[in-house]
Amino acid sequence: FKLRIEQVASDIAEFCGFSQGMSYSFESPKVFDKLLLPEDSKLRNAISIMNPLGEDYSIMRTTSLNGMLTSLATNYNRRNKNVRLYEMATEYIPVEGQQLPYEPVRLTMGMYGDCDFFTIKGAVETVLEGLRISDVRFTAERENPSYHPGRCAKVYAGDTLLGVLGQIHPHVAANYGVDCELYAAELSFDALYGSMGQRPVYQP
């Protein structure tokens, strides 16, 4: 059933004009500095690969944001003017006392070009509406170092945190070689799945 819901979310994203992208689960420890994550960030606690191809592929990703920003930067450098991408990205979070990590899936959306904060917010609202998620509210988020402190919001369904969205911090965008405004959203698929409304029942 979860796979079917993932497909529904993908269909809605594509309806909103997003193209599906894929990025590597292997990353470099340097991405944490590119994303301006503080030294004590939990996201820096990543799983190291025993026989990596090199430092650039030496850890398992703990955040899907780097892959999305890398894809946006690649399109920007190839002079594509208006880009909208999404990814169903698996993250790998170490769990103390367990050999295998927690592997949450995150619906990550990114865009630049003819868009602003309200464009990414509208795309998120369309996804939530399509999944029949109600009692949605947005609150200002100024503590996430990867996002612009005045153009970032957390999104909730009731008291459940679904994710974050907004403009990427200009310094982060510059770290990826981009000098235009980037917008992104990161939504926890487990939270989306748990907040879905009842399936509609039809009768003649």
Q: What tens digit of pLDDT does each residue of 111-139 get?
A: 999 999 999 999 999 999 999 998 999 99
- Residue 185: closest CA among 119, 114, 110, 118: 110
Phi, psi of 100 (to 5 degrees): -95, 145
Q: What tens digit of pLDDT does each residue of 61-114 get?
A: 999 999 999 999 999 999 999 999 999 999 999 999 888 999 999 999 999 999
Residue 30 pLDDT more than 70?
yes
pLDDT at 89: 94
pLDDT at 201: 80
Local confidence band at 1 (pLDDT 50, 70, 90 cut-offs) = low
Secondary structure (3-state) at 52: coil
**E strands along 91-196, which residues?**
105-112, 136-140, 147-157, 160-168, 182-188
pLDDT at 55: 84
Residue 6 pLDDT more than 90?
no
With both helix axes pointing from N to C terminus, report the angle between 2-15 and 117-130 in degrees, rounded to the nearest 10.
140
Percent of the chain with pLDDT over 70: 100
Q: What tens digit of pLDDT does each residue of 45-56 get?
A: 999 998 888 888
pTM of the model: 0.92
Secondary structure (3-state) at 13: helix
Mean of the pLDDT values across residues 5-15? 91
Residue 21 pLDDT more than 90?
yes
- Residue 136: closest CA among 146, 126, 144: 126
Residue 23 CA to residue 61 CA, distance in Å, equals: 10
Mean of the pLDDT values across residues 186-204? 88
Residue 198 pLDDT more than 80?
no
Local confidence band at 189 (pLDDT 50, 70, 90 cut-offs) = very high
Residue 36 CA to residue 33 CA, distance in Å, equals: 5
pLDDT at 199: 75
| Arithmetic mean of pLDDT over the chain | 94
Mean of the pLDDT values across residues 32-60? 92
Region of residue 143 (phi > 0: left; psi between -120 and 50: alpha; otherwise: beta)? alpha
**Structure-model confidence comparison of residues 3 and 167, the more confident one:** 167
Secondary structure (3-state) at 192: helix
Residue 167 CA to residue 143 CA, distance in Å, equals: 13
